[in-house]
A and B are shown apart, each in its own frame.
Chain A
C-alpha cells in the first residue's frame, strides 16, 4: 500500500528550486494519436483492420500481416505483469531527479507486451489495469495500475507525476462570484487542497454565497478583476509564487449573435473577460508557474480553464459568446505549448450550457455547477487535458471529431 503523502514543509529559502526537466519528448507522427486519446482520458491502441491484431508501440504497418490499414480505438485495459525492475540511476535529466523508478513488462490481454511505468502497489506477478496518461512533456505514456483500487493509490509518486492532483496544492479560482466558481472551491477543499485562493471582481458588490465561501477555513478571498491588468498583476505579486494550480472559472456570457446584438460594447466586454482576461492571467501567473514545475510535492501543476463547448463550433443564439470561446481555446493551445517548458499542464474543461440566469431560454439538458466542479477535480486527479461536461458538451465533442462542418450546420440550423 502507498504511504499517503504528507503536506510538504514550508519551503527552505536557501535551497535552489529544482529546475523543471522534461521526460523524453520525441514521438513519431503515428504515436501522437495515442497522446490525443490520452488527453481525453482514453486508453487507445492501434488495431489492424485487416487481421484484427492489436499493436504497440505505434506502427505504420501491421507487424503480423503488413496491412497499412490501422485504426486507433479503445483497447482492453487488462494485463499481467511478467517482469519488473527498479531504475536507480540514469543519465536522463528528468528521471535522474526522480529515481528510484519502477518499470515493468506487461503482457496485455489483447496481445502485445509493453514496457511501462509500474504503480508501487502492483504485486508481481499479478493482474494490472493499464492507463495511458500524459507525462510532463505532454506525451502519452502507459502505466500499469493495480487491478483493484488500493488505499492512497493516487499518492504513488510515479502516478502523481502523471496528474495534477490538488491534494496539498494551493489553488487559485479566478471567479468566486458565480455558482460555478463556488462549487469548484468547495470541491477543491474536499479534494485536499492546502489552500484555495478565490478571486472576487469588484468586491464592494455583494454576491450570493459570499458568507458560505468565506466560512471555509482554507479559503482566502482576494480582489481580482480579469479586465484590469493591474489587478491581475497585483494578485500575482502577492500569491503568484505559491499558486500551484490556477483554475479560471470566469466567463462573461450574454445572448446574441452578430446581427441580433447591435453594437460593440457587449462583444468587447465578453472578449475582455474571456479572452484577454485569460491572457492577463497567463502572463501574470504563467512564468512563475513554469519556474516551479518541479518544486516538490506541491509543484506548480496545472492551468485549467472552464470554457463553453461552443469553442468548437458556433451556436448563433450565443454567437459572440461562442466566438470568445473559440478565441479562448486558441489561446489555450498556444499557452499549452508555452507552459510545457515547465511541465505545467494546460487543461480545458468544456461545458454545455450552464444552468444560470443568462441561459433561462436554453432548453435542457443544462449543466449544474456541481457537475462542473466534479469534472474539474476529475481532470486534475486524472491528468486529463480535455474533458467535456454534460450531455451537450459530450455530444458536440463527438460530432466535432466526426465532421466539424456537419456540426456547424446542425448548430446553425
Chain B
C-alpha cells in the first residue's frame, strides 16, 4: 500500500513536471510587485497605521560594499499582495496554529475555485457577494468542494494605479466584498481553506458598517480560515481546476505576510 502511494506520488510529480515544462500546465502569477507606491489599508489616524513597503539600498558595488548589491526592506505584514492568518483578527486570537509560523502545510497548496463577479462589481462599486449569489453559482457550476480556496474575482486589480483602487471618499472606501451570510456559508457549509480578493482587504470597502463589522475577517479568522488580498491576474484562472500556492513567510508569531501567490492552471488550447 505504502509503496503504491509512493509510486503514485512519483508518477504524479513526474507528470506535473512534464506538464509545467512541456505544456499542459501553466504557472500563473497572482501577485502585484512589492513597491513603495503600492497603496495600503487606510485607518483612522489615531490608530496604528499599516506601514507601506520601503526599500533602502545597503550597497551597490560601491564604497559601502564593493562587490555586492543588496537592500534593507521594511513593511507591514499586511502590505502588498498578502496573507492574513487567523491571529490577525480578534475573533481568531485564541485559536491554535493561528500565526503564519505555525500553519498546516497542506493548506498552503490547495485547489482553488474562482467566482467571477467582475461584471457585477463594474456595475456596483459596493457590490456585496451574498449566500444567494453563491447558491446560484453552485446551481450552475456545481458545489464548492471542501478544502478549497475561494477567490472572488472583481477585476479590481486592474484599478491599481488609479484612485479607484482604494476608492476613498469622505464616508470611507468603496469596493466590493462578501456579505456575512456568504462567508458563513463558505466556512460552515463548504469548509473552505480561505477566501481571497483583488481589493485591499478581504472585506468590502464599507465592511465596517456590516454586521458583524468586517464579516470576512471576523468569520474567516474566527474559524481558523485564511485571507488573501491584493491579488492580481484572477482573470487568468478557470472557475475550478487550478491549484493555488500561497505560503506566507515563516515569521515568528506573525499575523500575516506579503507573499508570492502562484497558481497551476490547465493550459488552454491556444497556449
Contact = CB atoms under 8 A, between A and B. Distances in A.
B58 interface: yes
A268 B57 CA distance: 12
A276 B64 CA distance: 24
A368 to B, nearest CB: 31
Contacts of A263: 56-59, 64
A262 B56 contact: no
A259 interface: no
Interface string B197-210: 00000000000000
A265 B70 CA distance: 11
Interface in A239-270: 262-265, 268
Interface in B54-70: 56-59, 62-64
A262 B62 CA distance: 10
A264 B64 contact: no
B203 to A, nearest CB: 29
Interface residues of B, number: 8
A262 B58 CA distance: 10
A262 B57 CA distance: 10
Nearest to B74: A268
B64 A268 contact: no
Interface in B17-59: 56-59
B230 to A, nearest CB: 26
Interface string B69-84: 0001000000000000
Contacts of B63: 262
A50 to B, nearest CB: 56
Nearest to B62: A262
Nearest to B63: A262
A264 B56 CA distance: 7
Given A262-B62, A268-B56, 4 more contacts: A264-B56, A265-B57, A265-B72, A268-B72
Dominant secondary structure at the B interface: strand
Interface pairs A-B: 9 shortest CB-CB: A264-B56, A265-B58, A265-B56, A265-B72, A263-B57, A263-B64, A263-B56, A268-B56, A262-B64
A196 B43 CA distance: 44
A268 B64 CA distance: 15
Contacts of A262: 62-64
Q: Pick the most buried of A262, A265, A268: most chain B CB atoms within 10 A of its CB.
A: A265
B163 to A, nearest CB: 30
A264 B58 CA distance: 8
A12 B56 CA distance: 52
B183 to A, nearest CB: 33
Nearest to A269: B72
16 contacts: A262-B62, A262-B63, A262-B64, A263-B56, A263-B57, A263-B58, A263-B59, A263-B64, A264-B56, A265-B56, A265-B57, A265-B58, A265-B64, A265-B72, A268-B56, A268-B72
A129 to B, nearest CB: 54
B60 to A, nearest CB: 9
B87 to A, nearest CB: 16
B27 to A, nearest CB: 35
B81 to A, nearest CB: 26
Nearest to A261: B64
B93 to A, nearest CB: 18
Contacts of B64: 262-263, 265
Contacts of A268: 56, 72
A317 B63 CA distance: 18
A216 B43 CA distance: 52
Nearest to B58: A265
Nearest to A262: B64
B254 to A, nearest CB: 13
B69 to A, nearest CB: 12
A209 B269 CA distance: 71
A280 B151 CA distance: 41
A55 B75 CA distance: 60
A265 B63 CA distance: 13
B233 to A, nearest CB: 33
Contacts of B62: 262
A258 to B, nearest CB: 15
A268 B55 CA distance: 12
A86 to B, nearest CB: 53
A268 B73 CA distance: 12
B76 to A, nearest CB: 15
Interface in B244-258: none
Nearest to A264: B56
Contacts of B56: 263-265, 268
A268 to B, nearest CB: 7
Nearest to A266: B64
A268 B58 CA distance: 11
A262 B63 CA distance: 9
A280 B58 CA distance: 25
Contacts of B59: 263
Nearest to A267: B56
A261 to B, nearest CB: 9
A138 to B, nearest CB: 31
Interface in A287-301: none
Contacts of A264: 56
